[in-house]
Structure 1
């Protein structure tokens, strides 16, 4: 085991993180438990001075109390290459500032920094559109902005899910049936009257059994998913939309999909990947800040956060 590593986490404002459910905090705690020093970095502190990428990094001491889970130590401007590993765990939206961060992080990698997930891979990997690389595993899917194309797809499927390409947490997701009197308004709104590209997928009734989050770590398939089961009257399983998380062993079909994707995604520098599957069909590939580690550990005892730190140790 590589000991005494310095591991920095680029995260949302640390005072806003919720320790009882946050996967980044679970990884911080796992890193400290294995003898590593933990630091937090705000994305807004990233900078490039005369070519060198650095940021304000704050040393953290982690505690088990979810209400007072950290104590801040010294803050210093440090070159990212001075850390043994840097984890990019910034939540979407994937906007212009997010892209700018990946540009800076890519320069840091060129200077010797070890950044996970790889910043170029994050930038090149649309969490929605990336499933088009693996059509054999997906539901029937259309990516378009033309209202005629989208309406023809709804007519063909009779029951469809429409969603923006840059959303998270279930925001902006609509279920639209062919006879929905609001379908034109929904299409117009989501596409901004044909100015924005969206995704349409055939509706999968297995959503009632849960939108399954399957995690890949360092090219290894984790054995449990978190089934996000919609609340009554909902078609979205997202926990942020009121879904209920239930940890389950992977089905044979889910494992087959995950195994097929694990090696090629890891080869691109994607250390932590969250696959979303409904009825065994792949609907999204999450790479910005995949979650659900805490819920899986609480319900099964399987510690994915520690698996992440072990994978980082193996890269040293």
Structure 2
């Protein structure tokens, strides 16, 4: 395989956890294969009057906490000079992030292979995209109106999960029971006094056993991890203290993946992490899905190798300059 130039739009490399970060695992695999690895932050991206460019750092990476990368070169480069660009900026998906997804498309000569496609990322809100498949989901409402939300809570005897539409890492997720005297106040806070819609979802009791993060590469499930909440919390997110456990994919899991695959491929969403609770799809994560390292360790697989295989194949299929 010819040497490729792989770019990573991501958060500061200094801050990554080398034993957990999925983006870093992808960089390690690319570096191991001899490809050039460049990274840049969202704030380093700009338009130069003709095309998008960024201040980029070419790096050598290694899994050594505290000394996990060396900067080999730093220079401004057009994005058209990249063979592949991994869009791996962590949420929140705010206005600046959306602007970045538009800027990276402005490649005058030819675009790199995007993983994931910027337009696909814009269209696939991680909480709302799953609503296209209501038969796969728990009973769900999206609203900013307190009477609607309070009525929904009252009708779910086993409880309701409330979460921000643009939340991530388990932040702001609440469990409310019918008759909870905090419900109105909690909803006022989460909806910013009725100015922002939230997600209300019927509680799935199996969530106590953990929620399953399943990694899909080009629409195919390649691994997963069960994220088990601590005894005093309802959230399984590892960022919120959940514990990773080995996940076994069921027939239902594979059915959900098969339903999603055609639309994910059509939108260029090539590296995706879906969340499944019991038999229900709850989220489709497309910005910078995590779980690769944990799934590798628990399933004895190498998901990042599958991703770089795909990147190499797609880069080889690009039209010549």
Fold-level match, TM-score > 0.5?
yes
Kept after mapping to 2: 8 A contact 1:6/1:38 = yes
**Structure 1, unpaired ranges of 5+:** none
User: In 2, distance between residues paired with 1:192 and 1:25?
Assistant: 36
Kept after mapping to 1: 8 A contact 2:113/2:314 = no
Aligned partner of 1:237 in structure 2 is 236
Give the SS at the match of 1:115: strand
Aligned partner of 2:169 in structure 1 is 169
Mapping of residues 140-219 of structure 1, within 5 Å:
140-158=139-157, 159-219=159-219
Kept after mapping to 1: 8 A contact 2:50/2:108 = no
Cα deviations across residues 146-205 of structure 1 (Å, max 9, x unaligned)? Answer: 111111111111310000001101110000001211011011111111110100000001
Runs of 4+ in 1 over 4 A off after TM superposition: none
Mapping of residues 16-165 of structure 1, within 5 Å:
16-108=15-107, 111-158=110-157, 159-165=159-165
Worse-matched range after superposition: 197-206 or 108-117: 108-117
1:281 aligns with 2:280: yes
Structure 1 pair 96–232 and aligned structure 2 pair: CA distance change class (3 A): same
Kept after mapping to 2: 8 A contact 1:3/1:35 = no
Aligned partner of 1:305 in structure 2 is 304
Give the SS at the match of 1:44: helix
The number of equivalent residue pairs is 314
User: In 2, distance between residues paired with 1:124 and 1:64?
Assistant: 34
Q: CA deviation at 1:68?
A: 1.8
Kept after mapping to 2: 8 A contact 1:105/1:115 = no
Give the SS at the match of 1:172: coil
Kept after mapping to 2: 8 A contact 1:154/1:176 = yes
Structure 1 pair 109–251 and aligned structure 2 pair: CA distance change class (3 A): farther
Kept after mapping to 1: 8 A contact 2:4/2:35 = yes
User: In 2, distance between residues paired with 1:110 and 1:131?
Assistant: 35
Kept after mapping to 2: 8 A contact 1:117/1:288 = yes
Structure 1 pair 130–65 and aligned structure 2 pair: CA distance change class (3 A): same
Aligned partner of 1:12 in structure 2 is 11
User: In 1, distance between residues paired with 2:115 and 2:250?
Assistant: 28
Worse-matched range after superposition: 63-72 or 24-33: 63-72
User: In 1, distance between residues paired with 2:108 and 2:85?
Assistant: 10
Aligned partner of 2:319 in structure 1 is none
Q: CA deviation at 1:111?
A: 4.1
Give the SS at the match of 1:216: strand
Kept after mapping to 2: 8 A contact 1:214/1:226 = yes
Aligned partner of 2:318 in structure 1 is none
CA RMSD of aligned residues (A): 1.3
